[in-house]
Amino acid sequence: MSKALKGIIKLECKIRVLTGLHIGGSKENVEIGGIDNIVIKVPVLKLDEAIERDVPYIPGSSIKGKMRALLEWVEKPEGSMQVIALENKGEPCNCGRCRVCKLFGAHKNAKTEEPVRLRVEDFYPTEKTIDMWKKFLDGDFVEVKVENTIDRIKGTALHPRHQERVIPFSEFTGFIKIRVHEGDRKELFDTIIRGIQLLEDDYLGGSGSRGYGKVKFIKEKILWTDYRKQPFEEKIVDENEIANIYGA
């Protein structure tokens, strides 16, 4: 069967941070201070020099990786009764035929001819969010949270650690894109919607079991670009039209 590329669905989303978000960055570009765990930031040169300091963002790889890991606890590989996470003993699926492999790619499986359907962009803060950070965060774009362990005998705090976090009500914007090939079914799109729900019920970044990283996805609009039209035609569609795009 032909697997020609029919078009691409682009989900324009906002990610609203509901509890302090920590996606770890590298310490290389930071002067040595008291921070043990910094958050990942995009150098200001890549965004807008007027902002004057590096800007926290959400890497697409963090969203994609977490979504896949969560989906592998509910999705089964082709021909299996067991969910992927258990079937593969913690390794990502590499069957090359299930919905997860079609969307995210077969792990280390060079033999599959399935194209990878999913693209997740890096998500950058909205202007409103940068204004909020400037107003409330006293010269920085993150809060610093102090955490410690508790001495079981004395009940006192030990070993303080300093964690950078993106503050609640921050919003990031970007696209989740799903390429639609001939023969694809709407279940691929639905799997991504389920992945978003799973992510909202879990957490993004680190320390989720300690309250970090609760986020909400707000779907702003859905765009469909039909590559079979000359010139390519992009239009806004609503969720009910997705079935027609895939063809029943």
Positions that interact with Zn ion (CB under 5 A): 77, 93, 95, 98, 101
CB-nearer residue toward Zn ion: 77 or 174: 77
Beta strands (DSSP E) in 39-120 are 41-42, 55-56, 118-120
On the question of a cis peptide bond just before residue 43, with omega within 30 degrees of 0, the verdict is: no
CB-nearer residue toward Zn ion: 25 or 105: 105
CA distance 72 to 202: 14
CB-nearer residue toward Zn ion: 15 or 93: 93
CB-nearer residue toward Zn ion: 163 or 191: 191
Q: How far is the CB of 101 from Zn ion (least distance, A)?
A: 3
Q: Within a 10 A sphere around the Cβ of 150, how many other Cβ atoms?
A: 11
Q: How far is CA 63 from the centre of its chain?
A: 2
Residue given tokens 């400037």 in the structure block: 134
Angle at 47 between CA 103 and CA 15, to 5 degrees: 45
Contact 87, 75 (CB under 8 A): no
CB-nearer residue toward Zn ion: 88 or 126: 88
Q: Token pair for residue 72?
A: 């592998």
CA distance 169 to 40: 18
Exposure of 244 by Cβ count < 10 A (0-12 exposed, 13-18 middle, 19+ buried)?
A: exposed
Torsion sign (Cα): 187, 11, 117, 230: positive
CB-nearer residue toward Zn ion: 13 or 67: 67
Residue given tokens 């964690």 in the structure block: 163
CB-nearer residue toward Zn ion: 8 or 103: 103
Q: How far is the CB of 183 from Zn ion (least distance, A)?
A: 17
